[in-house]
A and B are shown apart, each in its own frame.
Chain A
């Protein structure tokens, strides 16, 4: 009996030691909803430069960028992270609406256009990406390349050769919300109804669209600049086309960074936000291939882009969020039948 008690006590002690070993008092905890291969070098560089230990949790592609937002909301009473760095803006605005963010106006955000930051400083946008077409150059001739979103339905390429990610998650859903803001409900409803009724391939994510087009399974598809760039850099027979550059423009999706309300070590969090918004970090993100629309002056230029200027949707990001909330359920019902 004594041995059993000893063994059990020993076991419990070890478990508690394990808990104690993970002391995080002096560390900065960051929740990162940006592809890990791009975010990790930035965090490591920050650690090296400041000596601040960073403990990160990365979102998984499988949880469609909302995994960490749901986690932050669930941790409302016990915030674990100091900073949330997201690859897009809708989920960050959702956190602001849920009163999960703390305002912080970073001095390094002064040059960022007001369209891409919250006036009260709840979040700051930087280092943008854009929604683009990825085209297989071995299948399509230049005159067949799509120039506008409407070409997906009315262009020369058969609809069964076109791909789009399921518009229920990530940047595809954000783009849908942006279209509701720009086109209005009637035209956007019709657009998605026609997509659903057509033979357009509805894929699991933007990376699937990239892969299908790269492998020649599809002629073209709608994706993000980072996906298109990664295929171009790997030497795949693809080209990036930015849609509607002579009319409405395309959706530019800034990265966003925000301080979490009640999170541990907010001072370290503010230092990290300053670092992330610094022009040097912007250059690093452009060089790594994560950022293609800098939103401010940068020394680096994206290697895979054929143009320096992108015509972006002229919309307020908060209004896109409003439409995101308003239409997401209808889209879900439409596409998850």
Chain B
């Protein structure tokens, strides 16, 4: 009897541990801040509530929503079209664009801000306000949307398309089969981007476009109390929660459908001349978007000779930033994997709890960590580099769970059950079955989290440890002071490293291709 009870307790601890850790890292700091705000509320003056909803803040909110809508709509449109280009396998170059995109997605948003600031002023376009804020925010968030939509395209069942093509035109197949299948992914990406844009104050601040989320940070700066930013955040969260719930609804629904076991490699469709022209134009624009910053940086710095000096100057901070982003992504993946290993499916309420940290404004997330971890029993953590990892976890942890869940839902239950029956050794089962099955999800999530962590500034500024400045924070700060040469140096070194990485990747693929060709020819020889 005792042993059964003990087993139950052990089982309970095993299943609840990841949830407790998730709660401790992501939920408890926010609740702690909420409680602190309620305590402050009892001694607050009446004017706090009078100024809570002012005309000024409502105007700011309207401007923020406008920016977020623009970013979200354009990102959905571009992702839909670019995804179509990749999916319909237009040319080898388009497929290559996918890789280029992945490499350039790693560029921190503030490097984008720096180069586009330069490009806009070169053409005499406004370097402040809505247009440039929209453009830079769009470019910085676009990879996230592209990734989701391209994945959506890969879920379209090829055999259904082929059956459709036998009976009607390619355009009709696109309209009736492909686009409806991709729709949930596009809408989800739009919702996520809307939320990310609404929460971000860093890019609009650089271009002097006042947004509501900056008001939250300013409230704390002006008062030094958490109550004021907390109250301001509630209004923003009231807008974000329904959008996120809507996105989660789409997300859960699309997971309810049985998905293919293999990702579709795409189909070659025939389009009308007009569609071809439109897609070519988009392609050209995307190429320009990637080429312009590179040319701008090289022209600004004078020559390629500057690269080694720039690299030498910024190497320490580059390594530190990559280090932090790597460990943050690693920690998030482990936690998300562990968490999902305890459940089979999640209901809407559980999703809401998991996604809650995504709804919180950046400034408030940072504040909650600084308030919670600055307790006497956490002194070893507070002020250390671990705070930067905790910031990334609280900001992007829910995304790790989302992605791993999406990939996990594609894994056949039968395979997992068969593994349990035929392989009793847990280690071997993990190595031979679980890990290979989860690997695509793990890699996708890791890359996305790495990119997001590398560009995090909004919450990090509240907890940045002494000497722990990251690349993004440095660029963000220097951009404010107008120290163009320092920003150029950092940006140039980032670009140089990315180009090097891309060429190494090309070389690797080429070598791998040669080897596989050699391999297949030797098989043919043996067969013959």
Contacts and interface: CB of A to CB of B under 8 A. Distances in A.
Interface stretch (A50-58, A109-117, A182-190, A276-284): A50-58
Interface string B469-506: 10001101110111100100000000000000000000
The interface centre, meaning the residue of A22, A54, A66, A329 with most chain B CB atoms within 10 A of its CB, is: A22
B376 interface: yes
A29 interface: yes
A293 to B, nearest CB: 20
A62 B214 contact: yes
A74 B56 CA distance: 29
Given A77-B376, A78-B379, A207-B480, A332 B461 contact: no
Contacts of B47: 329, 333
Contacts of B476: 60
A61 B208 CA distance: 12
B128 A211 contact: yes
Interface centre among B217, B462, B473, B482 (most CB of A within 10 A): B482
A62 B128 CA distance: 16
Interface string A59-92: 0111110110111011101101100000000000
Given A22-B465, A64-B222, A74 B214 contact: no
B15 interface: no
A2 B210 CA distance: 53
A6 B55 CA distance: 56
Contacts of A75: 374
27 contacts: A3-B430, A4-B430, A8-B338, A11-B331, A15-B386, A18-B384, A22-B385, A22-B465, A24-B466, A24-B467, A36-B481, A37-B486, A62-B214, A62-B480, A64-B221, A66-B224, A67-B462, A71-B370, A81-B466, A169-B221, A203-B208, A207-B482, A215-B127, A332-B51, A332-B222, A333-B51, A336-B56
Interface in A283-337: 328-329, 332-333, 336-337
Contacts of B220: 63, 70
A56 B218 CA distance: 22
Interface in B110-136: 127-128
A63 B208 CA distance: 14
Interface string B361-387: 000000000110010100111111110
Nearest to A168: B222
A7 interface: yes
Contact of B205 (A21, A62, A332): A62
Which of B331, B384, B386, B430 has the largest number of chain A CB atoms within 10 A? B384
B334 interface: yes
B386 A204 contact: no
Interface of B: 47, 51, 54-57, 127-128, 201-202, 205, 208, 210, 214, 217-218, 220-222, 224, 327, 330-331, 334, 338, 370-371, 374, 376, 379-386, 389, 426-427, 430, 461-462, 464-469, 473-474, 476-478, 480-483, 486
A78 B465 CA distance: 14
B222 A66 contact: yes
A106 interface: no
A29 B466 CA distance: 6
B54 A337 contact: yes
Nearest to A36: B477
B54 A56 contact: no
A77 B201 CA distance: 31
Nearest to B485: A37
Contacts of B370: 71, 74
Contact of B327 (A1, A4, A14, A61): A14
A19 interface: yes
Contacts of B474: 36
A168 B465 CA distance: 27
B171 to A, nearest CB: 48
A255 B334 CA distance: 47
A142 to B, nearest CB: 27
Given A7-B334, A15-B389, A37-B478, A2 B427 contact: yes
A207 B127 CA distance: 14
B11 to A, nearest CB: 12
| Residue from the set A19, A69, A230 with the largest chain B CB neighbour count within 10 Å | A19
A78 B378 CA distance: 10
A109 to B, nearest CB: 25
Contact of A19 (B201, B218, B380, B481): B380
A245 interface: no
Given A3-B426, A56-B466, A337 B217 contact: no
Given A11-B331, A15-B389, A337-B56, A78 B374 contact: yes
Interface in A237-279: none
A102 interface: no
Given A14-B327, A78-B382, A73 B54 contact: no
Given A19-B381, A56-B467, A336-B54, A62 B426 contact: no
Which 8 pairs of residues, A with B, have the shortest CB-CB distance? A55-B467, A55-B466, A61-B480, A3-B427, A37-B483, A29-B466, A70-B224, A66-B221
Contacts of A207: 480-482
B371 A74 contact: yes
A1 B426 contact: yes
B466 A80 contact: yes
Interface in A163-219: 168-169, 203-204, 207-208, 211, 215
A35 interface: yes
Contact of B477 (A7, A27, A58, A230): A58
B43 to A, nearest CB: 15
A18 B386 contact: yes
Contact of A230 (B54, B374, B426, B482): B482
A57 B477 CA distance: 12
Interface in A27-47: 27, 29-30, 35-37
B154 to A, nearest CB: 30
Given A62-B214, A75-B374, A19 B385 contact: yes
Contacts of B51: 332-333, 336-337
Given A74-B371, A80-B383, A336-B56, A11 B334 contact: yes
A215 B482 CA distance: 14
Given A55-B466, A57-B464, A61-B477, A18 B327 contact: yes
Given A21-B385, A71-B462, 15 more contacts: A15-B327, A19-B380, A19-B385, A24-B383, A24-B467, A36-B474, A36-B481, A37-B481, A57-B466, A60-B477, A63-B217, A67-B221, A67-B461, A74-B374, A234-B482
Nearest to A61: B480
B478 A19 contact: no
Nearest to A94: B224
A27 B467 contact: yes
A215 B207 CA distance: 14
A21 B51 CA distance: 45
A24 B467 CA distance: 10
Contacts of B430: 3-4
A313 B227 CA distance: 36
Nearest to A3: B427
Contact of A2 (B330, B334, B338, B426): B426
Contacts of B381: 19
A337 B481 contact: no
Given A19-B380, A74-B371, A204-B208, A64 B386 contact: no
Q: Could you say which of A2, A4, A22, A60 has the most chain B C-beta atoms within 10 Å of its C-beta?
A: A60
A71 B214 CA distance: 18
